[in-house]
Amino acid sequence: MSLFSLVTRASILVQLVMLALLGASVLSWVIIVVKHKYLKIAREEALRFEDQFWSGINLSDLYTRTKRNTADRSGMARIFEAGFAEYIRIHKTATSTTEMMLAGVQRSMKVALAREEDKLDSNLSLLATIGSISPYVGLFGTVWGIMRSFTALGSVQHASLAMVAPGIAEALIATAMGLFAAIPAVIAYNRYSESVDRIAGAYENFAEEFATILQRQSHQPPEDEQEQTESDQREATV
């Protein structure tokens, strides 16, 4: 009645169910570890870029530095780069208006924001799938194993609990493995979904604030743009 003997003596279908649940559990833990590292880096990069942006640095210098540092061009930096590149392109057009500039910048940042949110959401649906179907897959293996045990019991004249106990124990292992795969996946999905919502909210707030700064700049004479930008950055910092 050891665990190993119960697994090896189970029917082929129950063993396949156990193997599938074991693979799902391993996959979910790989996703959990990788996602934890990715979200941690995304939070740190967002905080670091916000510190640089609101430090009063010249936006052109920050744009040049962001394009140069290809390793840091993700998340908030990517949104800033997309918006400021569109701002420069439209600002050079003689027929451009403030409304055209703002609409173009917002579209560019919206596209970049959607791409970054897709990166944040990657593999979360797989965690949700593992967490939702693993208990049912394990239950299927359990039902099949119990049905097989009672079917074998019906072919003997003198039935006893000792005859069906091993088969039922084999079947219940499938349910236990289903829960073992599902519980960590559900916990990680809920936790990471909250983290993704917070990071995505920070991206959206930054995009709105950055668009507001560029809109104010468009109404300023060229010599006053940097002074206005530094004033906006200082106010936001305070």
Rounded to an integer, what distance in angstroms lies between the CA atom of residue 117 and that of residue 203? 9
pLDDT band (50, 70, 90) for residue 220: low
Query: Residue 109: phi, psi to the nearest 5?
Result: -70, -30
The predicted-structure confidence for 181-200, as pLDDT tens digits, reads as follows: 999 999 999 999 999 999 99
Unique residue bearing structure tokens 């910048």: 105
Rounded to an integer, what distance in angstroms lies between the CA atom of residue 149 and that of residue 143? 10
pLDDT at residue 95 in the model:
65
The predicted-structure confidence for 123-169, as pLDDT tens digits, reads as follows: 899 999 999 999 999 999 888 888 877 776 766 666 566 666 767 77
pLDDT band (50, 70, 90) for residue 238: very low
pLDDT at residue 185 in the model:
94
In the chain, the percentage of residues whose pLDDT exceeds 90 is 34
pLDDT band (50, 70, 90) for residue 225: very low
Per DSSP, the residues of 91-120 read HT-TT--HHHHHHHHHHHHHHHHHHHHHHH
Closest CA to 220 of 61, 53, 91: 91
Structural domain count, the chain: 1
Q: What single-letter DSSP state applies at residue 123?
A: T
Q: Residue 201 belongs to what domain range?
A: 3-237
